[in-house]
Chain A
Amino acid sequence: MKDKFFPALIAGIVTFVLAFPLLGLSIVADGLTLGLEGADTKTLGYIALASLAVFFFQLWKSNIVAVAKSIPLPKKAYSSPAARSQSQRDKREKLFTLIVVALALVWPFFASRGNVDLATLVLIYVMLGLGLNIVVGLAGLLDLGYVAFYAVGAYSYALLYQYFGLSFWVCLPLAGLFAAIFGFILGFPVLRLRGDYLAIVTLGFGEIIRILLNNWTHLTGGPNGIGSIPKPSLFGLEFGRRAKEEGNVPFHEFFSIDYNSGYKVIFLYLLALLLVLFTIFVIRRLMRMPVGRAWEALREDEIACRSLGLNRTIIKLSAFTIGASFAGFAGAFFSARQGFISPESFTFIESAIILAIVVLGGMGSQLGIILAAVAMTVLPELAREFQEYRMLMFGLMMVLMMIWRPQGLLPMKRRHMELTNG
């Protein structure tokens, strides 16, 4: 007990030193004279309580851990028997996927407008998460500037519409292409760098793009952004009350039904769903192709890859470029949905959120990423009074995840290529 007393006491004091000056004191400026103001007794009480809690926790840590361990944890919910082969698992998975997709397709017609709109936002994050997952989860390259490619996609559509009047459907592939080109240009020189250097360089690149968008005022509108970006149309049918484009017909007139702004929301949702399904399909194929295997091999052992004749630069570049192109698609869709974009939407925090989705979802796992995107977007909406603490919790969660479950909540079950007829 005694040998634990001093470390525990130190931990308690440290907690107090960390908390008191910033939480317990604040500066009051009265003209030119400065002063300090103590917090109310409630806050001070909390600080004291926290310090004591840390002290006692450290003091009785071993006991607490022992008690916690003795509580029986529920066994893993599902564990597929080892005997079940990949093809059987594939079948079940296909069925599961079909049911989920069917539900996702039907759901918006019964849900409220606000919820459908929120779901659309979730889908954007799913797409971004899946795209970044190629780079971080599969190829093992930490990209902290992923938001830059998202921005490139968003501005591609906004600018191409503004200057050339191109429609969403023309711009969508172009946005992916431009983002991919940016990924290529950045990736080509920097992918030789070691992992953590790469992270910082991509972070710097993200900042460069944001600063450029902010200051290149005559092209991008600077901090004021670009507004009145049109929504996508459905084969020439528009979802506004009146058609904006020459020759287009409003959706409700074409089907001679009453105008309802809810159609537009549902249409955007379905479009996002389509894009997500496309993303999932492409990535799953890629994972089983030689290039996907090469990404993982490179993550596992780069030196062995080189010794086998794999060109690491090209392989990393392909992951980087393909990942970027999905951010481009998501960006184009984002600007169509918002109708307005500005550099504000493309800060480092956005990159961190997407990274957090990948990390939380279990790097590499697609289902995990989808669930994580839902959690990250929906939870803050549900708990609006905690909005203030959202980013605080975010940061804390990232740290705790890395300590306790670096493999994520739903770690990737590697989709093994299996030999069926030996």
Chain B
Amino acid sequence: MAESMLKVRDLSMRFGGLLAVNGVSLDVEEREIISVIGPNGAGKTTVFNCISGFYTPTGGNINYKGQEIHALADYKISRLGMVRTFQHVRLFSQMTVIENLLVAQHRHVNTNLLSGLFKTPSYRKKEQKSIDRAVYWLKKVNLLEFANRDAGNLAYGQQRRLEIARCMVTEPGLLMLDEPAAGLNPKETKELDELIVSLKEDYNVSILLIEHDMNLVMGISDRIYVINQGQPLASGTPDEIRANPDVIKAYLGEV
């Protein structure tokens, strides 16, 4: 088997006396949708925080496209092409929708100060290019008409979509979504479902998903990892997970 895109081995994270994550391993291949599920407080978000570099894991390895990244600063990790959303939407709420997308492209238009001060042609060209890319993604997530509105004034579901668009303008290889369907109504969830599948099919992005909505998870995932109390419990295809007695027990408690 070829090297996985993302390879996590024996990840553990300790906060003082609390072992929040213990021995979690997972793989994500190119163009795959992988879900991480588990009861509340199982340590799913902590796994995300470790992979995206917000926490430095206390044990284990994380490898992205052949590069060890577990000791890398968060912003460097996202520059490699792994970007994430947050459980509680984190937009720049007093900036407009389009500005949110432009900020995300900061490193693509990172021109020097002088060319910006004099508005040189190359600067204008780069700026225009990032605006074009932003417009493209706004169309994709149906937010173009709100481009000039403050991000904080959008409806909740729109904010969720904007957060995904903001990740996509950075042209990632792996998109990490932390409970993207939380708080969405059934119609919005369905749209999200289609969006995620399209990201994989049309843009060759792999997706790592934390989600509680089992319909969504079972419907779109290629494989699923189950975590319980910080420990890996099971992994496999949606059908295998559905039939796994350990998983059922973990969710329903001891019967």
Seen from chain A, the residues whose Cβ lies within 8 Å of a Cβ on chain B are: 282, 285-286, 289-291, 293-294, 296-297, 300-301, 303-312, 318, 414, 416-419, 422
Pairs A-B, 3 closest by C-beta atoms: A304-B90, A309-B78, A289-B116
Q: Are B103 and A305 in contact (CB under 8 A)?
A: yes
- Across the interface, which residues of B come within 8 angstroms of A285, CB to CB? 116-117, 119
Would you give the shortest CB distance from A123 to chain B, in whole angstroms? 22
Bits for B187-223, please: 1 = Cβ < 8 Å to A, else 0.
Answer: 0000000000000000000000000000000000000
Q: List the interface of chain B (C-beta within 8 A of A).
A: 52, 54, 74-76, 78-79, 83-84, 86, 90-96, 98-99, 102-107, 109-111, 113, 116-117, 119, 127, 131, 135, 144-145, 147-148, 166-167, 170
CB <8 Å contact, B148 and A293 = no
**In the bound complex, CA of A419 to CA of B93 (Å):** 18
- In the bound complex, residues from chain B placing their C-beta under 8 Å from that of A306 are 54, 74-75, 78
**For A294, what are the chain B residues with a Cβ–Cβ distance below 8 Å?**
103, 106
Q: Are B83 and A290 in contact (CB under 8 A)?
A: no
Pairwise interchain contact B148-A416, C-beta atoms closer than 8 A:
yes
A309-B99 in contact given A285-B117, A290-B116 (Cβ < 8 Å): no
Residue of A nearest to B167 (CB): A308
Contact of B98 among A290, A296, A417 (CB under 8 A): A417
Given known A291-B116, A294-B106, A310-B106, contact A419–B135 (CB-CB < 8 A): yes
Shortest CB distance B171–A (Å):
11
Tell me which of B93, B111, B119 contacts A290 (CB under 8 A): B111
Please give 7 more A-B residue pairs, beta carbons under 8 A apart, in addition to A308-B167, A414-B94.
A286-B117, A300-B94, A304-B86, A308-B75, A308-B103, A308-B104, A417-B102
| Complex CA distance for A230 and B95, rounded to whole angstroms | 46
Q: Which residue in A293, A311, A318 is a CB contact (below 8 Å) of B75?
A: A311
Bound together, the chains give a CA A419 to CA B147 distance in angstroms of: 7
Contacts of B74 in A (CB 8 A): 306-307
| Bound-state Cα–Cα, A309 to B78, Å | 5
* SS class, residues of chain A in contact with chain B: helix
> Does the CB pair B95–A300 fall under 8 Å?
yes
Between-chain CB contacts (< 8 Å), 23 pairs: A285-B116, A285-B117, A290-B102, A290-B105, A290-B111, A293-B103, A293-B106, A294-B103, A296-B95, A297-B95, A297-B103, A300-B95, A301-B91, A303-B54, A303-B86, A305-B103, A308-B166, A311-B75, A312-B75, A416-B99, A418-B147, A419-B147, A422-B145
* Cβ B90 vs Cβ A301 within 8 A: yes
Asked if residues B148 and A418 are in contact (CB atoms below 8 Å), the reply is yes
- Cα A296 to Cα B105 with chains together (Å): 14
B131 touches A309 (CB 8 A): no
Task: List B contacts of A290 (CB < 8 A).
Answer: 102-103, 105-106, 109-111, 116, 127
Which residues from B are CB-within-8-Å of A422? 135, 144-145, 147
Among residues of A, the one whose C-beta sits closest to the C-beta of B52 is A307
- Bound form: Cα–Cα A138–B155 in Å: 26
Minimum Cβ distance to chain B for residue A295 (Å):
10
Assembly CA distance A417 to B134 (angstroms): 13
A51→B73 CA distance, assembly (Å): 58
Q: Is the CB–CB distance between B106 and A308 below 8 Å?
A: yes
Q: How far is the CB of A84 from chain B (nearest CB, A)?
A: 13
Nearest chain B residue, comparing its CB with the CB of A293: B103
Closest to A421 in B: B135
> Cβ of B102: which chain A residues have Cβ within 8 Å of it?
290, 293, 417
Task: State the Cβ distance, A92 to closest chain B Cβ, in Å.
Answer: 18
Q: How far is the CB of B247 from chain A (nearest CB, A)?
A: 30
Residues of A within 8 A of B84 (CB): 307
Q: Known: A306-B75, A308-B106, A312-B75. Contact between A419 and B148, CB under 8 A?
A: yes
List of A residues within 8 angstroms of B94 by Cβ: 296, 300, 414
Q: Which residues of A contact B86 (CB under 8 A)?
A: 303-304, 307
Give the distance to chain B from A193, nearest Cβ to Cβ, in Å. Answer: 17
A297 contacts across to B, CB distance below 8 A: 92, 95, 103
A292 nearest in chain B by CB position = B116
Across-interface contacts of A309 in B (CB, < 8 A)? 75-76, 78-79, 83, 106-107, 170
Minimum C-beta distance from B130 to chain A (A): 8
Which residues from chain B contact A303 at a C-beta distance below 8 Å?
Answer: 54, 86, 90
Across the interface, do A416 and B96 meet the contact criterion of CB distance under 8 Å? yes
Find the B residue at minimum CB distance from A308: B104
Closest Cβ of chain B to A205, distance in Å, is 24
Complex Cα spacing A291 to B117, Å: 11
What is the minimal beta-carbon distance from A285 to any residue of chain B, in angstroms? 5
Question: In the complex, A301 Cα to B166 Cα: how many Å?
Answer: 14
Task: Give every chain A residue within 8 A of B135 (Cβ-Cβ).
Answer: 419, 422
Closest chain-B Cβ to A413's Cβ sits at a distance in Å of: 11
| A304–B95 CA distance with the chains assembled, in angstroms | 13
Find chain A residues with CB under 8 A from B103 CB: 290, 293-294, 297, 305, 308, 310
The residue on A at minimum CB distance from B166 is A308
How far apart sit A291 and B107, CA to CA, in the bound complex (Å)? 10
- Whose C-beta in chain B lies nearest to the C-beta of A300? B92
For A281, give the chain B residue with the smallest CB separation: B117
Residue of A nearest to B53 (CB): A306
- Residue among B54, B83, B107, B170 facing the most chain A CB atoms (10 A cut-off): B107
**Do the beta carbons of B75 and A291 come within 8 Å of each other?**
no
Selected from B76, B92, B110, the residue in CB contact (under 8 A) with A304 is: B92
Whether B113 lies near A291 (C-beta < 8 A) is yes
CA gap between A282 and B113 in the complex, in Å: 10
In the complex, chain B residues whose CB is within 8 Å of the CB of A289: 113, 116-117
Docked complex Cα distance between A291 and B78 (Å): 18
**A308 cross-chain contacts in B, Cβ below 8 A:** 75, 78, 83, 103-104, 106, 166-167, 170
Contacts of A307 in B (CB 8 A): 52, 54, 74, 78, 83-84, 86, 90
Which residues from chain A contact B54 at a C-beta distance below 8 Å?
303, 306-307
For B75, list chain A residues within 8 Å (CB): 305-306, 308-312
Closest CB in chain B relative to A233 CB, distance in Å: 27
Give the CA-CA distance A306 to B79 in the complex, in Å: 10
